[in-house]
Structure 1
């Protein structure tokens, strides 16, 4: 969270420093700014430097370039101090604003001021989550390092790229279009998110020429962020939650079966373990969908409430506006006009992208996935006579053809002249039972290699697992703690390793020294 929100807070901090905090507006257009005092600019600049320092220290911690304790001290202290400095000058500027309003001046807070408010909140949030992590480390819950996956590292770099792209684009279009820096960042945000509200648009040929590659590159980088967020959310906590749920269901079923006087067969235990996995997956998918729908609705409706307050719209109009923005339609009949709503829109829209992505991924795995499965079944029933092989079927046919060609080519070669050692091996191979077992293992490995290529997610039947148990001269307790299907695993890879080890052990026992 801190690694993702830190660069976003730096973007708003740049807006707070680049744009004066008090402005005079007429019909939503800027007439002129009131210049900030020297001490306001100085403290604002110090806050930005501390915020950047906190993020650099945090990234260095993630990369292992700085010791954990030192980096944590720098990041947490810098985030808190930067937040306190901004809160101090926000309070002072608010008192100045009240004094000017009391004197009859027509003055409003600009996007610079509201960006400072957002920055102070984000800085404090980043410092808070790092403090929670540090407390967990001191209590022994977390190690003295951040162990990040490749998706997490990539996501932070991609978010940093988006923020740099927005900040740099804001500087370019502020100069070309004579926008304020806050308006320019708002314009770049609307462009990259493909909302296109139309309240700000390029009016010069040079601006139109620049916005085409700018928007294209921004959309591509945003697509990478969206894809990475989806993968990160799917893989971050799902695996651990799924394992925990499967284990609870397994223990519950094991106690129930132990108390059942009728007993159960080995195949019943296998089928029951399979059903536990299916039940756990269904519960997980629908629970995650419900949680994400609730969070999405809260985000959507609370955002509409904020826009209603800031813009003076009815609540229905605000919900309508948020819906169009979430769907990236952007008719332009409702657009944010006040500085506060524009600043909030930038933050809200950047948060909307991951939330919509997460919701869509859940819908694809549940409702949409069920509809697709149903249509595929109907298609198989009605169009089965004219269907063509799928990609996996074609790959399977090619793999089998290549295997047969190689085997026939090997059989057509003349047998090599073998020495005494070969004759000894031939004498040993006369033991038909040993040969049959070796052939059984080889044939099983050959079939699993095909599954690894064309059916990677295959779940093997009870008979196939029983054949493995026979080859290993063992027996599995399918509901027990040593069950090979106790947790979700890549079964083709697992069976391949077990068969391969069994073949090596068999050949090692038959080796002639």
Structure 2
């Protein structure tokens, strides 16, 4: 089908297929036909799908931060406190005024804390704080990143263990479907991979009496294990 299309149309088809593959949509109208294509898709989704998830999470976190910012910026107490110490009505607080305002709101910050916060929220002038930057400072104080941090070594060890278990499970499934469905190693590997990644292109479907229930059990066991982990 693609052979009869021009270069721009092929690029659009490839981009559409890549997105549906990485996003685990899998319409089934396009799928890899060669062993090399299947192997490439496995490595491609292995890298691109986690990257897409990270991008989704990053966008969601930024949206949450923006909503928090709006809520804190529109908080009457914060607004009153800002204007209370903006004695010259310039719309900005210097470091001393900023520190006193934070103390008034119950944040016992030191001079070093004030300096770090002002450097974080300011874009140009790090000696003055506008009311928008004051709202950003409230986010830093109420939702510090430190409380969300995890021990890196523990996270790395857990990730390696999960990856090893998933790889072992894929290889077990590959061997089973090779014998039950008379598929090649690459076909069985590709079927197991697109099943666990919930892509489901439909290019390979078990047809034997033992293969169909095994495919359901293969996916359910993986789903339960992933939910527990």
- Give the TM bin, normalised by the shorter chain: 0.3 to 0.5
Calculate the TM-score normalised by the size of structure 2.
0.33
Calculate the TM-score normalised by the size of structure 1.
0.17
Higher RCO (CA < 8 A, seq sep 6+): 2
Q: Which has the larger radius of gyration?
A: 1
